[in-house]
Amino acid sequence: MTAADERDEADDHCEVVIVGGGPAGCSAGVFTARYGLDTVIFDRGNSSLARCAHLQNYLGFPGGIDVETFLELARDHADAAGCDVVDDMVETVEREGERDGEVAFRVETQDGETVTADRVVAATRYGGEYLRPLGGDAMFETREHGGEDHEHFDPDYADDDGRTPVDGLYVASPAGERDVQAVVAAGQGAHVARTLLAEWRRAEGLPEGVLANHYDWLRPDSEFEGEWNERERWRERFDEHAADAEVDDERLSTLRERAVDRAFETRRSEEEIERLTDEGHRRLAEHLDPDDVVEAVGSDAVLDAVDDERIREYLEAEPGKRTP
């Protein structure tokens, strides 16, 4: 069942709506979805990055990368993390009223889809008119350009962490100088998502600081050696930072066990790390044209890079047990 199907069964409600599927929006979605929040990204397919001729300063691509492939990778990553990426433009975001004791948002799109959400992240560098019902003129500023006055979403409406005066609304873009280039926008999107998650966790009862802050980090087996292989040591670590928790003992115990479970869920063996490495390479290769690769590096270089041992194992395996 897809996230969209689940929303249909739950009155079209999700926990996080992100408006914009560029570097900032997809990066934010990766963090919220990997945490486990039902996340929908609405993307009109008109990222400001499309104005770039060739992306050459994004870390990890020493030869640069064409914008189309980069955006495909970003959306693929968001999808793999668990986001529901919808090709549609958001027209309005309004207050919905209370849901489970908290104010929710009502999001309406150009194609007539309506969803409600607990949190909204704005990630559209150009245009914020869809947010006007939430904050009115206070969200906008007027600038003079070419002898005429133009109204724009105020990039300083949100603070550096993406918080706004509207409870539950975060802005990853526009964000002043914090999202003027793709690599910075992606970082700001991730940062704002971590702000959202910290406030989500505080609402669950975790105290501000180490316990509320979420770290999306996989740990090798070596991080669980000795005393750290015991759940009790992780419980002690939790208690060291839980002195200011304003919840009863039963709730604190639940939060403690959940935190310990999350810690052990990050554990990866050498075999799992190898599998993840292979999967990462495969997913990247899916976005590359084999003919272009051969033409770019030469057929001899491609043959030299082929793992002969892996080919031999593949050919020697029984047909039903072969894995590419």
DSSP letters along 116-156, please?
EEEEEEEE-SS--GGGHHHHGGGGEEEEEETTEEEEEE-TT
- The chain-wide mean pLDDT, for the chain, equals 87
CA atoms within 13 A on the CB side of 53: 0
Q: Which residues pair with 95 in a beta bridge?
A: 105
- Cβ atoms of 71 and 54 closer than 8 Å: no
Spatial distance between the Cα atoms of 197 and 243, rounded to a whole number of angstroms: 21
Q: Is residue 280 situated within a structural domain?
A: no
Cβ proximity of 78 and 34 under 8 Å: no
pTM of the prediction? Answer: 0.86
Please state the φ and ψ torsions of residue 93, each to the nearest 5 degrees: -125, 120
- The pLDDT-based confidence of 10 (bands split at 50, 70, 90) is very low
Residue 251 · residue 242 · CB < 8 Å: no
Residue 89 lies in a domain: yes
Q: List the domain range (segments joined by +) for residue 220.
A: 206-268
| Domain final position from 185, 201, 217 | 201
Whether residues 234 and 133 fall in one domain:
no
Q: Do residues 42 and 86 touch, judged by C-beta distance below 8 A? A: yes
CA torsion 143-161-216-8 (nearest 10°) is -70
The whole-number pLDDT of residue 87 equals: 94
- Asked if residue 10 and residue 52 are part of one domain, the reply reads yes
Q: Looking at the structure, do residues 211 and 197 belong to the same domain, yes or no?
A: no
What are 231's two structure tokens?
Answer: 């759940």
What CATH number corresponds to the domain at position 192? Answer: 3.50.50.60
Q: Mind listing the pLDDT tens digit for each residue in 165-208?
A: 999 999 999 888 788 899 999 999 999 999 999 999 999 999 99
Pairing of strands 219-220, 267-268: parallel
Are 183 and 317 part of one and the same domain?
no
> Domain check: are 114 and 59 in the same one?
yes
In this predicted model, what pLDDT tens digit does every residue of 273-313 receive, in sequence order? 999 999 999 999 888 877 665 565 566 655 565 556 665 66
The Cα–Cα gap between 157 and 175 comes to 9
Which position has the token pair 């051969």?
294
Q: Does residue 7 belong to any structural domain of this protein? A: yes
